[in-house]
């Protein structure tokens, strides 16, 4: 049975309203968090517990330092846990892709969603996490 998507009754039902509310509330929360934490740059100062001369300069919103790519936001978490999480995620996601290819064949990659899933899986192979552990070991060796 083919539904007519030009009919207002197709869009004005409780499922669509619930989905739209969920998506727009997530977008609003994301906008608020970006505004709050990535807003105008803060002045360099004593907020990190260091002198003004030693503080890392803040160059504005959207600036990503190299160490921000591999260090967790919570300073109590060791980067090795982030690497372990990424490794477990990779193993799980790789097994899902391998299962799909075994069951459905290589034709599953005709769909962009499978390519996106493959790229996310490769991201979780954790080259950033491995790089972070390497950077951490270099810093520990340098003292």
> Do 58 and 41 contact (CB within 8 A), yes or no?
yes
What's the whole-model pTM score?
0.46
Q: What's the sign of the alpha-carbon dihedral 56, 60, 66, 72?
A: positive
> Do 128 and 69 contact (CB within 8 A), yes or no?
yes
Residues 76 and 39 in one domain: no
Q: Could you read off the pLDDT of 7-46 as tens digits, one per residue? A: 888 888 899 899 999 999 999 999 898 787 765 555 544 4
Residues 35 and 45 in one domain: yes
With cut-offs at 50, 70 and 90, classify the pLDDT of residue 57: low
Give percent above pLDDT 70 in the chain. 66
Which of 20, 46, 63 terminates a domain? The answer is: 63
Residues 13 and 43 in one domain: yes
Residue span of the structural domain in which 94 resides? 65-143
Residues 32 and 44 in one domain: yes
With cut-offs at 50, 70 and 90, classify the pLDDT of residue 71: low
Which of 41, 63, 85 terminates a domain? The answer is: 63
Residues 22 and 83 in one domain: no
Domains identified in the chain, total number: 2
Residues 55 and 113 in one domain: no
Give dist(CA 120, CA 122) in Å, integer: 5
């Amino acid at each position: 049975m083919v539904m007519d998507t030009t009919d207002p009754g197709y869009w004005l039902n409780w499922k669509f309203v619930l989905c739209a509310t969920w998506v727009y509330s997530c977008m609003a929360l994301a906008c608020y968090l970006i505004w709050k934490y990535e807003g105008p740059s803060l002045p360099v100062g004593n907020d990190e517990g260091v002198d003004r001369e030693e503080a890392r300069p803040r160059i504005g919103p959207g600036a990503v330092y190299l160490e921000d790519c591999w260090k967790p936001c919570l300073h109590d978490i060791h980067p090795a846990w982030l690497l372990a999480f990424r490794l477990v995620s990779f193993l799980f996601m790789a097994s899902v892709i391998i299962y799909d290819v075994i069951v459905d064949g290589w034709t599953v990659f005709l769909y962009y969603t499978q390519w996106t899933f493959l790229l996310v899986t490769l991201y979780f192979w954790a080259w950033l996490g491995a790089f972070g552990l390497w950077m951490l070991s270099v810093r520990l060796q340098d003292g």
